[in-house]
Structure 1
């Protein structure tokens, strides 16, 4: 670190310092309190307070003596997810509808964000929609504008009101769509798009394999997180629709992959 950089580090306010700490964790995967104290020319206690604040927001995960990327998370029940980050999801839904043209054929998978997207997309006429979500099928059918809906068969999940499993996968392969509109559990610079549910990850992969364009919808709370089941690498995504533009390593990898960010 140069003398000039050290001088700048001394004058960083808490907000900017915490942003840079989070960026360092995303870049390196793990950092120590000692390293951060040296870098920002501040006390160990100040760094510990910074890490505690970042951990509360889910940006990092604390451990004794340092911080690392957040561990794999779990999703709550569908009703809880509908109210979580609802304003952000509504913004995403409005943006997503602008990417759909009358007459398009669209796969839409199950999720709280894709359900909100369906409410906006239902205003567009003459679509063909293939979905494994009974909620989305009901929303789309209420549009009254010549949209044709295909509801996939398969094993029924009552909480998510969706069909999954081999039958659903097989039926997806009977269609070809202009767009696959999917929601994900997490988006990471290295791991790409991942999900918390094995069956839903399989459905998402099948949909994207049978579509010309992949649209991923995700609010910023899912950035720089990882879930257990792979959906796709970043370069497979055609468009990422979000409420806030990604930053740091994720932004760089998305740009390198040629992903259109909305």
Structure 2
């Protein structure tokens, strides 16, 4: 089993069992204690987990819950961010919008008075775009994930090689200066990484991060981008000064969303 998949499977196992001993993890995943310690060094960067004596347990305050419950958290803030992001779409854009509770709030505000192309793996965006005749809709993924309300499981690298995205609207589980922009789901990570990697060869692609205030200063399991890979960040509430300084230093444009 590849290390990334093993660590994700280990995380899902701990979430299911809630508290697991080091011995049980080593036996379940057929790895040595040294390998387990290295894996846990990465896994424990995810705020959903914490070390306890002799094992690992779930950090209840940071556990990723189903989309419907996460969607209701800071909903007013997410609506403001989603509306602001949708206003950045212009005629003939080829945009990507990934799945997430904040990017989902772009759905009610998708432009209806000019033509553009939308690539997405978000069920909410698909449902909204399917009702609009002005949108050329391209769907990513062939497997539906109820927990994230998204589609995954396709050859993402090959797909994004064929399209020159003008704007990529991205979400994240967490953001920190040390660990960058992170996500908790491996299949979502693959899609996010493919989109961000395409920007390295398509210099016209603008990467835009949608982030509510609860995501700052936290880390999830998988880093899919460095903060400085984004051209802009849309936010609402006052941002900690160290982040303002970091974004200014790396020339990341900050877009405050207003009510």
Q: Normalised by the size of structure 2, how large is the TM-score?
A: 0.69
Q: Could you say which residue in structure 2 is the equivalent of 1:80? A: 69
Aligned pair in 2 of structure 1 residues 124, 197: CA closer, same or farther (>3 Å)? farther
Q: Could you say which residue in structure 1 is the equivalent of 2:101? A: 112
Post-superposition offset of 1:228: 1.1
Instruction: Measure, in 1, the Cα distance between the counterparts of 2:237 and 2:113.
Output: 25
Instruction: Measure, in 2, the Cα distance between the counterparts of 1:199 and 1:76.
Output: 17
Q: Could you say which residue in structure 2 is the equivalent of 1:193? A: 181
Residue 170 of structure 2 corresponds to residue 177 of structure 1: no
Instruction: Measure, in 1, the Cα distance between the counterparts of 2:95 and 2:146.
Output: 24
Residue 131 of structure 2 corresponds to residue 142 of structure 1: yes
Q: Could you say which residue in structure 2 is the equivalent of 1:156? A: 144
> SS state of the match for residue 252, structure 1?
helix
Q: Could you say which residue in structure 2 is the equivalent of 1:13? A: none
Residue 235 of structure 2 corresponds to residue 242 of structure 1: yes
Residue 79 of structure 2 corresponds to residue 90 of structure 1: yes
Q: Which segment drifts farther, 103-112 or 246-255?
A: 246-255
Q: How many residues align?
A: 195
Post-superposition offset of 1:91: 0.9
Instruction: Measure, in 2, the Cα distance between the counterparts of 1:141 and 1:123.
Output: 12
Give unmatched runs, 5+ long, in structure 2.
1-46, 51-58, 200-204
Q: Residues 1-262 of structure 1 correspond to what in structure 2 (within 5 A)?
A: 73-123=62-112, 125-144=114-133, 146-211=134-199, 212-262=205-255
Aligned residues of 2:156 and 2:194 also touching (Cα < 8 A): no
Q: CA RMSD in A?
A: 2.5
> SS state of the match for residue 104, structure 2?
helix
Instruction: Measure, in 2, the Cα distance between the counterparts of 1:78 and 1:122.
Output: 25
Give unmatched runs, 5+ long, in structure 1.
1-57, 62-69
Instruction: Measure, in 2, the Cα distance between the counterparts of 1:245 and 1:237.
Output: 19
> SS state of the match for residue 175, structure 1?
coil
Aligned residues of 2:92 and 2:115 also touching (Cα < 8 A): yes
Aligned residues of 2:141 and 2:154 also touching (Cα < 8 A): no
User: Could you report, residue by residue, the CA deviation over 1:111-169 in whole angstroms, capped at 9, with x for unpaired residues?
Assistant: 1111111321244521100011232111112233x111001233321332322234344
Aligned pair in 2 of structure 1 residues 232, 72: CA closer, same or farther (>3 Å)? farther
> SS state of the match for residue 177, structure 1?
coil
Highest Rg: 1 or 2?
1
Instruction: Measure, in 1, the Cα distance between the counterparts of 2:68 and 2:182.
Output: 21
Post-superposition offset of 1:102: 1.8
Q: Normalised by the size of structure 1, how large is the TM-score?
A: 0.68
